Structure 1
Amino acid sequence: MEVTPPRRRMGSPDSAVSNQLLDATERVMREEGYAAATSRRIAEEAGLKQQLVYYYFETMDDLLLAAFKRRTSRALERIDEEAASRQPIQTIWESWNSTVDAKLVFEFFALANHHDGVREEVNRFMAAARRKHAEAIARQVDEHGLDLGPFSPEALSFMLFSTALLLGREEAMGLTIGHTDVRKLFDWGIARIG
């Protein structure tokens, strides 16, 4: 008869310390990259003992996944608010431009290449976000009798996110050539259909 060892005691996932570790994980990933996100570095950033990382998270993979899930949970709440807007196309564009932490998003995307759980969560989040945004865009198109020409709501949702993300990433690296013109182009187009 095989005996399953008792599961070790874990800290509460919603505790102040757990959130302190998740905040520290985001800061380390944003400033130093996902490869720097070790238990030692995160504990140091959080001002805590390294052992606490493993009291609250069984593995570093669990910590990294929890950090991403917390971000996506918050983002989906914001997306629901955007979708309820009277002019979701403009609201989505403005929100992606003001709320996307492009450096951190790109670090999570890079991590997803090596971490199955993060990759699954990235795909789940992106599909849900795109679906919610496309539904809101379709509603605005129907309610206002808009003509998007060859753009489907899904295509427009993709373009709004991708453009805002790339603009944010380039700006984080100090590259801004053409950004003002791209934003003017999107603002002009959204004003015409909104």
Structure 2
Amino acid sequence: MPPNRRGKQAQPAEPEPDARARLITAGRRVLAERGYDATTVKEVAKEAGVNQGLVHYYFGSKDALLLAVTQEASQQYMTELQRLRAQTPVEALAETAFAWGEKLATDAPDSCRLRYELFALGLRNRELTPAVAQLLRQGDTEIARTVAHYRVGHEAAPAAEDLHYAIIIKACVDGLALHHQLDKTFDPLPVYALLRRIMLASIEPSAAPRPPARKSRAQGRRGTPSPRVRRTPRTPRR
């Protein structure tokens, strides 16, 4: 925002009620189309139909705007994953969740590109690194809840191994989507199908506790010997 005549920071006009949401929507469009480096705050404000000063008012910088855009997209994905867990039968949850992830990796290139832009920014801008790391942890945790739900058969707190599975799955999906972004001749679907088979073969649903098996008579005889009953000696007949 340009300084006023007295050298103080000029205050933006009174923000509209939905200005922040409009800036995030516009930022997502412009950043995905032009890339982070080519995008200007002025373009985003123009796309949103708001004063340019509102970008700085709400976000402070273009870096923070990209973070907010990606956080919004990530929250939508986590909400959808929560809906899948709530509405999908347990026996179909794994296949349904993998199919949904596959669609994201292949049919949502704009969202994928924004994630990679944010990752690169998090490496360059150390002030932004903690927020990017937190975003990654939130995604890991939500996927881990889905793994735990499938493994246990109901909504449950994820164990450490559930989180490890989640990190592997998310890292593979991000890598396949990035490969597809950079090389349009690369088809990620066969690789994704293999990943799904490996994960489903590895994640064993918890079995219901079984009642103890009944011992056969022979097993009972070979088991712990019963205490002997001391018999009273018989009086010999005369």
User: Identity percentage over the alignment?
Assistant: 22
The correspondence for 2:100, drawn from 88, 95, 118, is 95
SS of 2:153's equivalent? helix
Which range moves more in the overlay, 81-90 or 33-42? 81-90
Amino acid at match of 1:174: D
Aligned to 1:26: 28
Q: Distance in 1 between matches of 2:77 and 2:99?
A: 14
Which range moves more in the overlay, 155-164 or 51-60? 51-60
The correspondence for 2:167, drawn from 146, 158, 174, is 158
* Aligned-residue offset at 1:26: 1.6
Conserved? CA contact 1:83–1:133, under 8 Å = no
Conserved? CA contact 1:93–1:161, under 8 Å = no
TM-score by length of 1: 0.72
After superposition, the Cα gap between the structure-2 partners of 1:123 and 1:103, relative to the gap in structure 1 and judged at 3 Å, is same
Bigger Cα Rg:
2
Q: Distance in 2 between matches of 1:94 and 1:70?
A: 22
* Aligned-residue offset at 1:49: 4.8
Conserved? CA contact 1:69–1:121, under 8 Å = no
Amino acid at match of 1:11: P
Aligned to 2:231: none
The correspondence for 1:129, drawn from 131, 139, 163, is 139
* Aligned-residue offset at 1:182: 0.6
SS of 1:177's equivalent? coil
Structure holding more helix per residue: 1
* Aligned-residue offset at 1:126: 1.7
Which runs of structure 2 are paired with 1:1-194 in the superposition (5 Å)? 8=11, 11=15, 15=18, 17-84=19-86, 85=88, 86=90, 87-99=92-104, 101-116=111-126, 118-143=128-153, 152-177=161-186, 179-189=188-198, 192=201
Q: Distance in 1 between matches of 2:43 and 2:182?
A: 23
By relative contact order (CA 8 Å, sep 6+), the higher-ranking structure is 1
Which range moves more in the overlay, 167-176 or 49-58? 49-58
Conserved? CA contact 1:24–1:42, under 8 Å = yes
Q: Structure 1: 5+ residue runs without aligned partners?
A: 145-151
Conserved? CA contact 1:34–1:107, under 8 Å = yes
Q: Structure 2: 5+ residue runs without aligned partners?
A: 1-7, 106-110, 155-160, 206-238
Q: Distance in 2 between matches of 1:180 and 1:48?
A: 41
Q: Distance in 2 between matches of 1:117 and 1:171?
A: 30
After superposition, the Cα gap between the structure-2 partners of 1:134 and 1:177, relative to the gap in structure 1 and judged at 3 Å, is same
* Aligned-residue offset at 1:6: 11
* Aligned-residue offset at 1:107: 1.0
Conserved? CA contact 2:23–2:44, under 8 Å = yes
Aligned to 2:230: none
Conserved? CA contact 2:32–2:113, under 8 Å = yes
* Aligned-residue offset at 1:47: 5.0
Which range moves more in the overlay, 100-109 or 167-176? 167-176
**How much is the aligned-residue C-alpha RMSD, in angstroms?**
3.4
Q: Distance in 2 between matches of 1:51 and 1:183?
A: 44
Amino acid at match of 2:68: A
